[in-house]
Amino acid sequence: MTASVGIALSGSGDDSPEALLRDADTAMYRAKAEGRAQVCVFREVNGREAATHLQTANELHRALERGEFRLHYQPIVRVATREIVGFEALLRWEHPERGLLAPGEFIGLAEDTGLIVSIGAWALETACAQARRWQQTVRGPLTMNVNLSPRQLADPDLPLDVAAILARTGLCGSSLCLELTENTLMHHTSTVIGTMQALRAQGIQLSIDDFGTGYSSLAYLQRFPVESLKIDRTFVDGIGTDAGDTSIVRAVVDLAHTLGLVAVAEGVETAAQLDGLRAIGCDLAQGYLLGRAQPAELVELQPAAVAN
């Protein structure tokens, strides 16, 4: 058990108890945001950030009601042939004043406020519906990858909610892959195994995202019913130029294959990286070299290039 502590000091001695408690509370949340188990002293900058935080939270509430969220889709290809096997759905916020915002600018806040559950449900249904439309266009198998937040995974009703979305959209469970982070699995071990097994019973694929940046525990790879590992882009960057990164990626690919899992590389941006992944035996890849994330209407589908 740990404690996050926020401290507020009275500069003039005339501060009201309410103001000091408010500032101390702001500092406490700053301590949590910086990794927990810390002490943070309130500064004026904290106050300005808190005001911005509150404003963004209010805007986030309205964004879902106003339909301001968007999904962009990045292709996932087979390394050996460069055939498209699926897409990853990536969330964006079309802010009316700040423009198109990447997930890093609002996902943390959505998680803190609990809005991520509603936003995540919208993203999942939208992505499944789009995958079904594409499957009908190319008349072939196509997988849609969607990220799950810790709050969504901790919801015991998640398997039922996902089943209802699949029924409404007409997408087969085997065409959906839900991505989970290592840290999410490690922090919710006792509660998520049953949820994951219920999802797998529907034929849904499960993938560990950003593998190598968290605990990278071999124990959970044996305990959790996952089908693939996504190797973090920080390791892919050095393939072909950095012996250490190349060795790490090769080891992860070998580990995945030994466990009967599919190895997926993220952040492929150069032909040299793709060649290195092919030499290592990596199964799938995604990145700017293979296709940027785009709105559905800009995605070019080539039926002959789609493979199972």
Per-residue pLDDT of 101-136, as tens digits, reads 999 888 888 887 788 999 999 999 999 999 999 998
CA-CA distance, 178 to 206, in Å (whole number)? 5
Per-residue pLDDT of 231-287, as tens digits, reads 989 999 989 788 888 999 999 999 999 999 999 999 999 999 999 999 999 999 999
Q: In terms of Cα–Cα distance, which of 204, 209, 106 is closest to 161?
A: 204
pTM for the whole thing?
A: 0.81
Domain ranges of the chain: 5-60, 66-305
Superfamily in which the 66-305 domain is placed by CATH: EAL domain (3.20.20.450)
- Predicted confidence at residue 263, as pLDDT, reads 97
Per-residue pLDDT of 213-240, as tens digits, reads 666 567 677 788 999 999 989 999 989 7
CA distances for 164 relative to 153, 161, 168, 256, angstroms: 16, 5, 6, 31
- Predicted confidence at residue 302, as pLDDT, reads 61
- Predicted confidence at residue 135, as pLDDT, reads 92
CA-CA distance, 264 to 256, in Å (whole number)? 10
Lowest mean pLDDT of 2-6, 165-169, 195-199, name the range: 2-6
